A and B are shown apart, each in its own frame.
Chain A
């Protein structure tokens, strides 16, 4: 069975702080994808990144970076110099069955 754990239910930071959102997964598949989605207060689900299980290179996109470590079954997400607009619920997900974690609510205060 596939499982995704986001142990941090809520995180609150002050603007410009760095913040890391944790994601730990379980799967017996050798080929799989991991995803991060953002759900801002407006409610839509916004795709952020997809990572193939064979590609363990870290990814950076602007202030966002992702650290994929197969050895610890983790796919963590870091926001550098956080901004108020980063306030949202962030979901980690795992294919094949698209299991979503419970989400981490990030609040960035001015």
Chain B
């Protein structure tokens, strides 16, 4: 059983399009995250949701909108895609321990290519 899954694995699209990436975790964790990894491998947290509530919202263009329908899902919707959005996007989940982040388990990543 996959602990954290993401779909799709690869996404190729044209500039200006809107796309979504889905994430699901079956670990029973309370907190989920989205990260962006650029071509230089730099990993940056974008959003964090705890029990469907937004906790961390880093400086990310408002074209990016996370949506958490329930505790096990955190989807990432991107409007008006730009070339600079090309990256690998990772979803992760963890069980918060008294407000301190526990071990995060990552999904396999979604490689987004904007042409």
Contact = CB atoms under 8 A, between A and B. Distances in A.
Contact of A31 (B44, B92, B100): B100
Contact of A45 (B40, B42, B90): B90
A35 B103 contact: yes
Nearest to B48: A98
Contact of B88 (A43, A97, A98, A105): A43
A39 B41 contact: yes
B106 interface: yes
Q: Which of under 10, 10 to 19, 20 to 34, or 35 or more describes the interface residues of A?
A: 20 to 34
Contact of A43 (B43, B104, B108): B108
Q: How large is the interface on B (under 10, 10 to 19, 20 to 34, 35 or more residues)?
A: 20 to 34
Given A43-B88, A44-B109, A98 B101 contact: yes
Nearest to A89: B41
A29 to B, nearest CB: 8
A95 B31 CA distance: 13
Interface of B: 33, 40-45, 48, 56, 88, 90, 92, 98-106, 108-109
Contacts of A63: none
Given A43-B108, A44-B109, A91-B43, A96 B88 contact: no
A97 B33 CA distance: 11
Contacts of B56: 97
A95 B95 CA distance: 12
Interface in A68-110: 89, 91, 95-100, 102-103, 105
